[in-house]
């Protein structure tokens, strides 16, 4: 099936694409603008769905290969969404669903956004919902961000909200970091708050640093405080190490001090070594 304009994501086999281009002695400066969706059909049933950009070298391994052309984006998205709704819980079925969702995300246009939103909000299986959330955050810009942020605020499932946090780390939308900060402070699940702190640290922004230190001081759950201490280890060393030393020296919570000292011991940072020397020689 040949698609029209792509939604802005790269080839599914990027490593092979790069090696093939290098072997030809050519590196393309502009990315491809079309995507192919490949369906493996056996015994009258679709067993696998994969999508590749049109500059990927494809090898069918000697199997019969048929191109379907003249398919509109709306028809393509509707067909792929139907393949998701027909899947069950078995591993192969979930793999097919994942392939279909990935292929939907490669489409430009409102049809793809609407299909992903419907899957994220109302699909039967949590795995399917989590996959749709990832691609909403990764490939649908501001519109995708709004859907994911809504799920993070409102969904009753802890696992779905956790995935929404990760999906927001993939988004370039202006409000994505603020939504993660809000989850780190307000989510009812200690696990989701801890995961939000971890992913904030990967962002290494000023907002991340503030949210992490606030969690250490104010979160009512000790396990969240511990996760916040670990999150400091994910910040750039010039930011994280001084904060860990400060916690180890003076934080009122013994569990926080213990965690800070543990991670300082793992860091091999010269400042941590000096801190331990000072502490042990008093």
24 and 62 Cβ atoms separated by less than 8 Å: no
Residue identified by tokens 């307000």 is: 186
- Quote the pLDDT of residue 264: 96
Q: Output the pLDDT for position 2.
A: 37
Structure confidence at residue 15 (pLDDT): 37
Exposure pattern of 86-97 as b/e (b: 16+ CB <10 Å)? ebeeeeebbebb
d(CA 176, CA 203): 11
Q: What is the pLDDT of residue 248?
A: 96
Tell me: the pLDDT tens digits for 199-233?
Answer: 999 886 778 889 999 999 999 999 999 999 999 99
pLDDT of residue 29: 66
Stretches in the chain below the pLDDT threshold 70: 1-29, 31, 86-89, 204, 282
Strands 34-42, 2-5: parallel, antiparallel or unpaired by DSSP? antiparallel
Assess contact for 3 and 76: CB atoms under 8 A: yes
Tokens of 187: 């989510």
Q: Which two tokens stand for residue 174?
A: 């202006």
Residue with tokens 């009812």: 188
Q: What is the pTM of this model?
A: 0.82
- Separation between Cα atoms, residue 189 and residue 161, nearest integer Å: 9
User: For tokens 């201490």, what's the residue?
Assistant: 229
Per this entry, what is the length of the chain?
282
Residue 27: per-residue pLDDT: 60
pLDDT tens column, 63-110: 888 888 889 999 999 999 999 976 666 788 888 999 999 999 999 999
């Amino acid at each position: 099936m040949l698609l029209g304009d792509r939604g802005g994501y790269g080839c599914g086999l990027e490593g092979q694409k790069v090696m093939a281009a290098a072997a030809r002695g050519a590196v393309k400066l502009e990315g491809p603008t079309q995507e192919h969706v490949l369906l493996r059909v056996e015994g009258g049933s679709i067993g696998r769905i994969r999508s590749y950009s049109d500059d990927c070298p494809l090898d069918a391994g000697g199997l019969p290969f048929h191109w379907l052309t003249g398919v509109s984006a709306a028809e393509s998205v509707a067909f792929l969404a139907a393949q998701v709704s027909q899947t069950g819980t078995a591993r192969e079925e979930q793999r097919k669903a994942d392939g279909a969702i990935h292929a939907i995300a490669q489409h430009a246009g409102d049809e793809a956004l609407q299909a992903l939103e419907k899957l994220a909000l109302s699909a039967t299986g949590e795995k399917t919902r989590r996959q749709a959330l990832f691609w909403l955050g990764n490939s649908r810009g501001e519109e995708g961000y709004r859907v994911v942020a809504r799920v993070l605020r409102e969904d009753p499932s802890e696992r779905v909200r956790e995935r929404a946090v990760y999906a927001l780390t993939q988004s370039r939308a202006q409000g994505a970091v603020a939504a993660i900060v809000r989850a780190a402070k307000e989510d009812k699940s200690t696990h989701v708050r801890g995961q939000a702190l971890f992913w904030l640290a990967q962002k290494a922004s000023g907002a991340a640093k503030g949210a992490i230190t606030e969690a250490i001081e104010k979160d009512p759950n000790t396990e969240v405080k511990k996760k916040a201490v670990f999150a400091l280890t994910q910040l750039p060393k010039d930011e994280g190490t001084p904060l860990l030393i400060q916690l180890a020296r003076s934080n009122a919570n013994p569990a926080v001090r213990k965690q800070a000292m543990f991670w300082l011991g793992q860091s091999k940072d010269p400042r941590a070594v000096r801190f331990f020397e000072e502490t042990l020689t008093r």
